[in-house]
Amino acid sequence: MIRLSLEIGQTQKPEAILFYILAPLSVLAALGMLIVRKAVHSALLLAWVMITLAIFYIALDAAFLGIVQIVVYTGAVMMLFLFILMLVGVDAPDSLTENIKGHRATAIVAALGFGGLLISLIGRATLNHVSVGLAMANEPGNVQGLASLIFTQYVFPFEVISALLITAALGAMVLAHSQKSAGARLSQRALSSVRFRGDSLANAAGLPSSGVFARHNAVDVPALLPDGTPAKNSISGVLTARGDVQDSTQYALGSLPKVDDESGDK
Amino acid sequence: MSDTPVLQYSFLAPILIVLGGAVIGVLLEAFAAAKRRAVLQLTLTLGTLFIAFLSLLRIRNLTSAKAAMGSVMIDGPTILMQGTILLIAFFAVMIIGDVDNFTAQASAVPGSDEEKSALQAGRQQTEIFPLTLFAVAGMLLFPAANDLVTLFVALEVLSLPLYLMAGLSRHRRLFSQEAALKYFLLGAYASAFFLFGAAFLYGFSYSVTLSGIHAAVIGGTANNIFLLIGLTFISLGLLFKVGAVPFHAWTPDVYQGAPTPITGFMAAATKVAAFGAMLRIYYVTFAEANWNWRPILTVIAIATMLVGSIVAITQRDIKRMLAYSSIAHAGFLFTGVIALNKAGLAATLFYLLAYGFATIGAFGVITLVRDSSGEITDLNRWAGLGRRSPKIAALFSFFLFAFAGIPLTSGFIGKFAIFTAAYESGNIGVVVVGVLSSAIAAFFYIRVIVMMYFADDNGDSLTVVIPSPLTSIAIWVSGGVTLVLGVYPTPVLNAINTLATFIR
Amino acid sequence: MNSANYLYLSAMLFTIGAVGVVIRRNAIVVFMCIELMLNAANLAFVTFARINGTLDGQIIAFFTMVVAACEVVVGLAIIVTIFRSRRSTSVDDASLLKR
């Protein structure tokens, strides 16, 4: 029997140096993921963990996996995460209040116990052979070795994975693709007849644009009508629905300092 | 260069047919006219399941063999479990075919104008049918998988469509979407545990096939610590999937939130697949290492039976109550798993069949009890149902009797067989707890029946809708199977006994 | 240094991921923690592949990556759907199902 923690497969010194530099950094980044409040920071830290893992894969004679790790995980998966985070809103920090009292402390204590147990178990593990190394298996080349396994021994699960990809595509369509009802969109002709042959010609020249001239011209500030009331139709319906409309009466002329005073100073 | 792989398509035919049907279903989504899509999809799905069942019958007498380069093991238990899954799925799809239970357009925000117009236009989310077929394909593969890769892939193939379908309820959509999120996060968490365990089993045995791991277990020279870690984590993943205590927290929420036909399908068919895989893993691979897992699994079985039965008493919602009842049933099934003998295997297989049909039927009935705002799952409002629609109430009572294990129902035979097997294996404690929790469980099933028949009619607006032909076929057939398995189970028991031997 | 150090690292990352799932409340962060756990499992596979001298471990790691990519698509689709519903119906952070 060989003590796993002592004697299996001593690696070359450069790999040891690489490990001792990168491993603490990846653990720190993983811990940081739990501590930082903003989800985007968590995502970036996770991307870093994944990149260090890719480097480890290459050091572990898994060159193909190392590259795939970078392309698939950091390139595709993490970008998807970031994309969704941007969509959902980057600024919202995670609430740090506890739902259940003492829940977090319990979880951390449990984790320390769990991780400690796992690591001490691995440390006490024994093997009855020294690390074989992949020199022989990788002899025709890592990619060739993997390919011959994937297309012979593991060809069936490899084919079944396509079901998973179809499911994912189908699921994303079901949940995110909205099929607008056909025919609901009016033609150009119908639109202009609504505009010019409607009840009034008030909007025939186009809807008023948003903003109070020279004071505030953002899209969420309704224009002011001559009588001082905000013009609702100068704002996009989406903003109204979201309740993101500002009160434009604060920019009305009546609330401004007298023009004469300002010009007097100049 | 390596040789060309030999897949042995006849053995894989049921799985491949279901996958093929699913792919054709996806194409139908793209090319069929929206008006005819629902009918086409339903026909295609039922046809696919039927043909897959026929192709399964063709291979039932073949001597068991490995297929697909050893990735898949076709032996007696595989054929029985695949048959059970296909039958359950066939009748579940009939109930799923009643589109009133599903959202008209999943992408529309609940309560929005878009949703209203989609409802008015009578739009349907017919993608449910191919998703169901994908899930079925994963379920067929899961108990047949013979190496860790296939096991993991099958687990995901069966889970992903279920996560999606859990969120597609027509009424109370926020609940439903939240159920989908919860199911997804906990399911993915469980898969991660499963995978970590698989890594250590690979480290333990230098092999990813179940027979290779078994060889390392009996060889005894490999490192037992890796075996322990691997076994623990892989079991954690599986326990999550079947909803065993203490990993059951998701079950009631997901069962309640998901559309009722999907809940029925999930409860019945997922259990078969997950217990099938569990039986294979424990019986084939780790039988000789049972000092490692049997005591812990015994404790979990006892806890699962008791918690499921006791907490169910306090439930006021029929779907939640059935969810806790399904937890209790998972406990009974564990009793069969830890028996670790042939009788235990056969009893578990029979129980899965019996429970599956009763579950499909019971959830089918729940889809029928509605008022203007959708299904009524509040137990208090079911009061007096027995007088208003005696036939449906009688059928539901019959399913509840089956869950409780009253004689003349399939549940009685199943419980009897499973406790006998546990007794034969010398595990008296589990049998005592099992009988005890059956008695506790009977209390709340019978309370529902009393409520339906003897409580005052509260003049509620709830009605039992007239079921669509397919739904009523599914419900009545489930009732029939439950009755036949309870009255004359001998042929089925004999068939299971002849086939129920795992091949390594 | 020996290869077992990679296993310690894998166990640590797995534990951190498992804790993160429990203590974080943002669904996206929880999901990222699950991804971390999958990555930790992959590292264990690749390490064992070298210790055992077979490529099967690398194959599983490769399969896991594909599976994880699919899982991410489905998971994020569900999360976005919930986000859209919650936002427009102003249901706050509290869970509806846990009453």
C3-34 pLDDT, tens digit each: 888 999 999 999 999 999 888 888 888 999 99
Structure confidence at residue C48 as a pLDDT band (50, 70, 90): very high
Residues 19-78 of C with CB under 8 A from B: 21, 27, 30-31, 34, 37-38, 40-42, 44-45, 47-48, 51-54, 56-57, 59-60, 63-64, 67, 70-71, 74-75, 77-78
Which helix (H) or strand (E) covers residue B65, if one does?
Answer: strand B65-67
Count Cα neighbours of A249 within 13 Å in the Cβ-side half-sphere.
4
Q: How far is CA A36 from the centre of its chain?
A: 15
pLDDT < 70 stretches in chain B? 1-2, 63-64, 457-461
Q: And the tokens for A181?
A: 């009802």
B173 domain-assigned: yes
Decide if pLDDT at A229 tops 70. Answer: yes
Q: And the tokens for A97?
A: 């209040």
Please give the pLDDT value at position C69.
Answer: 93
Phi, psi (degrees; rounded to nearest 5) at A10 = -60, 135
Burial class (CB in 10 A: 0-12, 13-18, 19+), B221: exposed
B1 domain-assigned: no
Q: What is the mean pLDDT of chain C?
A: 84
Angle between helices A142-150 and C56-89 (to 10 degrees): 80
- List CB contacts (< 8 A) between C51 and chain B: 203
Count of CB atoms situated within 10 Å of the CB of C29: 25
Decide if pLDDT at A179 tops 60. Answer: yes
For residues B214 and B289, is the Cβ–Cβ distance under 8 A?
A: no
Q: What per-residue string of b and e applies to B192-218 under the rule 16 or more CB within 10 Å gives b?
A: bbbbbbbbbbbbbbbbbbbbbbbbbbe
Residue B47: closest CA among B18, B27, B26: B18
Quick check: B69 contacting A, CB < 8 Å? yes
Residue range(s) defining the domain that contains residue B301:
9-499
Say whether B69 and A156 touch across the interface (CB within 8 A).
yes
Q: Is the dihedral of CA B386, B388, B389, B391 positive or negative?
A: positive
Structure confidence at residue C89 as a pLDDT band (50, 70, 90): very low
Give how far C48 is from chain B: nearest CA, Å: 5
B73: three-class secondary structure by DSSP: strand
B504 domain-assigned: no
- Report how far apart, in Å, the C-alpha atoms of A161 and of each of B127, B150, B408 are: 19, 9, 44
B222 domain-assigned: yes
Structure confidence at residue A181 as a pLDDT band (50, 70, 90): low
Please give the pLDDT value at position B456.
Answer: 76
Name the residue among C32, C39, C93 with its Cβ closest to that of A43: C32
Q: What is the mean pLDDT of chain A?
A: 80
Structure confidence at residue C88 as a pLDDT band (50, 70, 90): very low
Q: Tell me the CATH number for domain C1-84.
A: 1.10.287.3510
Separation CA B390–CA B461 (nearest Å): 17
User: Which residue is closest to C10 within chain B, CA to CA?
Assistant: B196
Total structural domains within chain B:
1
Q: Are strands A223-224 and B65-67 parallel, antiparallel or unpaired?
A: unpaired
Angle between helices B224-242 and B290-313 (to 10 degrees): 20
For residues B244 and B300, is the Cβ–Cβ distance under 8 A?
A: yes
Separation CA B257–CA B252 (nearest Å): 8
C99: three-class secondary structure by DSSP: coil
Give how far B4 is from chain A: nearest CA, Å: 7
Please give the pLDDT value at position A144.
Answer: 92
- List CB contacts (< 8 A) between B237 and chain C: none
Separation CA A39–CA A57 (nearest Å): 27
Residues 133-152 of A with CB under 8 A from B: 148, 151-152
Count Cα neighbours of B418 within 13 Å in the Cβ-side half-sphere.
33
Quick check: B18 contacting A, CB < 8 Å? no
Decide if pLDDT at A61 tops 70. Answer: yes
**End-to-end Cα distance, chain B:** 29
Quick check: A121 contacting B, CB < 8 Å? yes
Find the radius of gyration of the CA atoms of chain A: 32
pLDDT in tens, A197-224: 877 777 777 777 777 766 777 777 888 8
Please give the pLDDT value at position B384.
Answer: 82
Residues 196-235 of B with CB under 8 A from C: 196, 198-200, 202-203, 206-208
Count of CB atoms situated within 10 Å of the CB of B225: 19
B3 domain-assigned: no
Q: How far is CA B407 from the centre of its chain?
A: 23
Q: Is the dihedral of CA A169, A175, A176, A177 positive or negative?
A: positive
For residues B258 and B345, is the Cβ–Cβ distance under 8 A?
A: no
What's the one-letter identity of residue A55?
I
**End-to-end Cα distance, chain C:** 52
For residues B284 and B504, is the Cβ–Cβ distance under 8 A?
A: yes
∠ Cα B181 B182 B183 (to 5°): 95
H-helix segments, B243-341: 250-257, 260-265, 271-280, 290-313, 318-339
Structure confidence at residue A259 as a pLDDT band (50, 70, 90): low
Burial class (CB in 10 A: 0-12, 13-18, 19+), A55: middle
Domain assignments of chain C as residue spans, ordered by start: 1-84
Say whether B5 and A155 touch across the interface (CB within 8 A).
yes
Please give the pLDDT value at position A264.
Answer: 43
pLDDT in tens, A125-165: 766 566 777 877 778 888 999 999 999 999 999 999 999 99
Report which DSSP code applies to A251: G
Say whether C48 and B163 touch across the interface (CB within 8 A).
no
Decide if pLDDT at C98 tops 50. Answer: no
Quick check: B220 contacting A, CB < 8 Å? no
Q: And the tokens for B448?
A: 């529902």
